[in-house]
A and B are shown apart, each in its own frame.
Chain A
Amino acid sequence: MANRTDPAAKSIRGTNPQNLVEKIVRSKIYQNTYWKEQCFGLTAETLVDKAMELDHIGGTYGGNRKPTPFMCLVMKMLQIQPEKDIVVEFIKNDDYKYVRVLGAFYLRLTGIDSDIYRYLEPLYNDYRKVRLKSPEGNFTLTHVDEVIDELLTKDYSYDIALPRIKKRWTLESLGALDARKSVLEDDFEEEEEKDENEQDDLEEEVAHEKDYYQTRSPARERDRDRRRDSHRHSVVSFPFHRDRDYERDRDYDRERGRGRDRDRDRERDRDRDRDRYRLREEKDYGRERERDREREGRERDRRDRDRGRRRSHSRSRSRSKDRKRHARSSISPRRHEPEDGSAREEPKKKKEKNEKKDDGTDHPDPEIAEANRIRASLGLKPLKL
């Protein structure tokens, strides 16, 4: 009846498009009064009117898990399956931000990967605030670009499981997409140049001091090495800078408002035309950045994973190294063995102490150890036995 999908609609991801929403949430939507009253017999045009009346987004809320009108409209769109042009119109329209978010969400659910990145990434520049209904029923504040970021990075949003899409770099390597060009990239360039100039100045000062004590050529070589290293350092430290500056720039832009952003865009376009030669350098630069960023990301993941256990081990290991060095440096070879032995015992003791201090994940009973491991990963304290 009213809940059946349009028979002319194509199947999405191999199933009835309405099945993208899981069973329980779907039943909640069908029983909702907003759905029954307002969403009956909607077409694409009348849907636009309803979408313009939206004033908040969100998933299900309250003890009953009541769906928001936003969810009902998403469901309706899945049911009638509007054309891609209409959805793109939703996204491109500038006046109604909730219509934009609705279109973006629908595209994320039903579109193909390259389309999703192509149409959703420009929305990163939209800094407007949107009202979000939290699962407890209160309203909170978020922004359009935060919503888009969630859609592109997380796999579950507003009580709907988002279909898996390929990673951006996969599509770039396939050639389906161009490399990501952030609108704030020129600002990053300026920041980076400033940092590089500061580092170079520092190096020059240090080099001048060393000239007094040493001959010239080694100092010059060292200078050259240091410059090369500083370049590498600036590239490696760049991701951290970027995060900080990105936050700062974002807040700054928000305060300034949208009018000024347009002027900045115009100025930036002018600059871009003038500094076209820079773009080519930038491309190679960007690739280095990507590689380093990936490396940093991987290192960070490794660090996070091994945080609980490995750190204590490495600490004890380094301490044992020091002790061994001291042991060997101290005098007679006859005393060599017992000192080494004691050195080896102490790090063992330290290791045990460190392990016991941990979350009880080394408990002799394997069930309790397993339970403690899960608790530690969830951030809970260990079991009190």
Chain B
Amino acid sequence: MIEVVLNDRLGKKVRVKCNEDDTIGDLKKLVAAQTGTRADKIRIQKWYTVYKDHITLKDYEIHDGLGLELYYN
């Protein structure tokens, strides 16, 4: 179980607990459940890399405590 921090630099900072074999799509659903936006409106980035929905966190090498950027579509 890892904990990922997502920050949208406009006041929304969320800590989400998830498994390493969850996909980015699942992570978006968890973030949506916590923030109240819709899951398909969320975009997760790291600098200019937009993370794709069907790839797992483990494959993106997202480890515990990593900060991700939260943007909206």
Q: Could you list which residues of chain A lie within 8 angstroms of chain B, going by C-beta atoms?
A: 24, 60, 63, 65, 135, 156, 367-368, 371, 374-375, 377-378, 380-381, 383-385
Assess whether B73 is in contact with A24, with CB atoms less than 8 Å apart.
yes
Let me know if B60 is at the binding interface, CB within 8 A: no
Assess whether A378 is in contact with B30, with CB atoms less than 8 Å apart.
yes
Assess whether B30 is in contact with A375, with CB atoms less than 8 Å apart.
yes
Pick from A60, A378, A380: contact of B73, CB below 8 A. Answer: A60
Residues in B whose Cβ lies below 8 Å from that of A385: 1
Chain A min CB distance to B35 (Å): 12
* Docked pose: A367 CA to B73 CA in angstroms: 30
Residues in B whose Cβ lies below 8 Å from that of A380: 22, 26, 29-30
Let me know if B18 is at the binding interface, CB within 8 A: yes
Residues in B whose Cβ lies below 8 Å from that of A377: 33
Assess whether A384 is in contact with B17, with CB atoms less than 8 Å apart.
no
Pick from B17, B26, B72: contact of A378, CB below 8 A. Answer: B26
Residues in A whose Cβ lies below 8 Å from that of B41: 24
Assess whether A383 is in contact with B19, with CB atoms less than 8 Å apart.
yes
Chain B min CB distance to A16 (Å): 21
Let me know if B64 is at the binding interface, CB within 8 A: no
* Docked pose: A368 CA to B3 CA in angstroms: 11
Pick from A63, A135, A374, A375: contact of B50, CB below 8 A. Answer: A63
Chain A min CB distance to B29 (Å): 5
* Docked pose: A24 CA to B38 CA in angstroms: 13
Across the two chains, which residue of chain A brings its CB closest to B1?
A383
Q: Which 7 A-B pairs have the closest CB atoms?
A: A65-B73, A383-B1, A371-B17, A378-B29, A374-B33, A384-B19, A385-B1
Interface string of B19-42 (1 = CB under 8 A from A): 110100010011001100010110
Main secondary structure of the interface of A (DSSP, over half): mixed
Kindly state the interface size class of chain B when it binds its partner: 10 to 19
Chain A min CB distance to B41 (Å): 8
Extra inter-chain contacts (4) besides given A374-B33, A381-B19, CB under 8 Å: A63-B50, A378-B26, A378-B33, A380-B22
Residues in A whose Cβ lies below 8 Å from that of B29: 378, 380
* Docked pose: A112 CA to B26 CA in angstroms: 38
Across the two chains, which residue of chain A brings its CB closest to B29?
A378
Chain A min CB distance to B72 (Å): 6
List 8 A-B residue pairs with CB atoms under 8 Å apart, sorted by A's residue number: A24-B41, A24-B73, A371-B17, A374-B30, A378-B30, A380-B22, A383-B18, A384-B1
* Docked pose: A374 CA to B39 CA in angstroms: 14
* Docked pose: A345 CA to B20 CA in angstroms: 39
Chain B min CB distance to A380 (Å): 6
Assess whether B17 is in contact with A383, with CB atoms less than 8 Å apart.
yes
* Docked pose: A377 CA to B26 CA in angstroms: 12
Chain B min CB distance to A249 (Å): 34
Across the two chains, which residue of chain A brings its CB closest to B53?
A136
Across the two chains, which residue of chain A brings its CB closest to B40?
A135
Residues in A whose Cβ lies below 8 Å from that of B18: 383
* Docked pose: A325 CA to B48 CA in angstroms: 68
Residues in A whose Cβ lies below 8 Å from that of B72: 24
* Docked pose: A375 CA to B27 CA in angstroms: 10
Interface string of B31-73 (1 = CB under 8 A from A): 0011000101100000000100000000000000000000011
* Docked pose: A156 CA to B40 CA in angstroms: 12
Chain A min CB distance to B54 (Å): 11
Residues in A whose Cβ lies below 8 Å from that of B50: 63
Residues in B whose Cβ lies below 8 Å from that of A371: 17
Residues in B whose Cβ lies below 8 Å from that of A368: 17
